[in-house]
C-alpha cells in the first residue's frame, strides 16, 4: 500500500515529473514541434506523415519512437526490476539520463536531428526507471495514465468505496510536477531557447548525487 511509501518516493516522483514537463515543452517549442516525453502524439503524427508521403519526417519520427524504446530497454538492463526498491542502480540511471540530455543539448545547438533522439531516449529511460511501488503506478513522463487513475479513484470514492488518500495525493503530485515543469520550460525557452535543457540536466544530476548519498547513508544504518 502507498501508506508505506517513504517521503523520498513522493519527492522524487514530483521532481522527475517536473523534469519531464520541461523536456516536453522544449520539445513542443523546438524539437520540430513534437513531444518527446511520451509517444502518443508522435505515433499519431507518424501515421499522418505516412499517408501524406512525407518520408523524411516519417523516418525522423520512427527514430524518436525507437529511441524512447531503447531508453526504456536500457532502464531494464540497469534497474532489472519493475518494482521500485532502494538501490544504487537508480543513481546510475539518473546520471545516465543527465548525460543523455547533455548530449541532446549539444546536438540541438549544432542543428543536428540527433538531439531529438537523445532527448527521447532519456525520457524512455526515466519512464521505465520508475514503474510501480506497493501497487501504485508511478508514471513520470506523461500524465494520461495518472489522470485516468485519479479519475477512477475519485469515482470509487463517490460510490463510497474506501481509497488510499496517500495514493490520491501521489497522483496529484505527479500531475502538479509535470505542469509546473511545463510552465518553467515555456518561460525558460523564451529566454534561453535550447539552453533551457540545462535545468533538467542539472536537476537529474543533482538528484542522482542525492540519491546515492541517501542510499549510502541508509546502507550504513
113: pLDDT strictly greater than 50 = yes
What pLDDT, in 10s, does the model give residues 156-190? 888 888 877 777 888 899 999 999 999 999 999 99
Beta bridge partners of 133: 136
Structural fold of domain 2-220: Growth Hormone; Chain: A; (1.20.1250)
Q: Which of 72, 103, 97 has its CA nearest to residue 211?
A: 97
The domain ranges of the chain are 2-220
Beta bridge partners of 124: none
Enter the C-alpha cell of residue 32.
520540430
Question: Who has greater pLDDT, 100 or 84?
Answer: 100
134: pLDDT strictly greater than 50 = no
Q: Do residues 204 and 97 touch, judged by C-beta distance below 8 A? A: yes
Of the segments 16-20, 74-78, 150-154, which one has the largest average pLDDT value? 16-20
Tell me what the mean pLDDT of segment 103-125 comes to.
93
What is the dihedral sign for C-alpha 127, 92, 215, 213? negative
Q: Do residues 22 and 183 touch, judged by C-beta distance below 8 A? A: no
Residues contacting 116, CB < 8 A, separation 6+: 27, 31, 32, 34, 36, 60, 63, 64, 67, 104, 108
Question: Who has greater pLDDT, 30 or 155?
Answer: 155
Side-chain-facing half-sphere of 152: CA atoms under 13 Å: 8
What pLDDT, in 10s, does the model give residues 2-25? 455 567 778 888 999 999 999 999
Tell me what the mean pLDDT of segment 196-210 comes to.
94
Q: What is the pTM of this model?
A: 0.88
pLDDT value, residue 1: 46
Tell me what the mean pLDDT of segment 132-158 comes to.
78
Q: How many residues does the chain have?
A: 221
Quick one: angle between helices 55-79 and 114-129, nearest 10?
40
Amino acid at each position: 500500500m502507498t501508506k508505506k511509501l517513504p517521503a523520498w518516493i513522493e519527492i522524487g516522483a514530483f521532481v522527475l515529473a517536473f523534469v519531464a514537463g520541461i523536456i516536453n515543452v522544449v520539445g513542443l517549442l523546438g524539437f520540430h514541434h513534437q513531444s518527446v516525453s511520451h509517444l502518443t502524439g508522435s505515433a499519431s503524427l507518424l501515421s499522418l506523415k505516412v499517408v501524406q508521403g512525407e518520408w523524411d519526417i516519417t523516418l525522423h519520427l520512427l527514430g524518436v519512437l525507437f529511441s524512447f524504446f531503447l531508453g526504456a530497454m536500457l532502464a531494464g538492463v540497469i534497474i532489472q526490476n519493475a518494482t521500485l526498491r532502494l538501490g544504487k542502480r537508480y543513481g546510475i540511471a539518473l546520471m545516465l539520463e543527465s548525460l543523455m540530455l547533455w548530449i541532446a543539448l549539444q546536438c540541438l545547438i549544432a542543428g543536428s536531428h540527433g538531439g531529438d533522439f537523445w532527448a527521447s531516449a532519456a525520457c524512455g529511460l526515466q519512464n521505465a526507471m520508475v514503474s510501480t511501488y506497493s501497487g501504485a503506478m508511478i508514471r513520470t513522463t506523461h500524465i494520461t495514465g495518472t489522470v485516468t487513475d485519479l479519475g477512477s479513484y475519485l469515482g470509487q470514492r463517490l460510490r463510497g468505496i474506501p481509497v488510499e488518500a496517500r495514493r490520491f495525493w501521489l497522483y496529484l503530485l505527479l500531475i502538479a510536477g509535470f505542469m509546473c515543469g511545463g510552465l518553467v520550460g515555456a518561460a525558460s525557452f523564451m529566454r534561453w531557447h535550447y539552453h533551457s535543457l540545462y535545468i533538467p540536466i542539472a536537476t537529474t544530476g543533482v538528484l542522482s548525487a542525492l540519491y546515492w548519498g541517501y542510499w549510502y547513508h541508509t546502507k550504513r544504518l
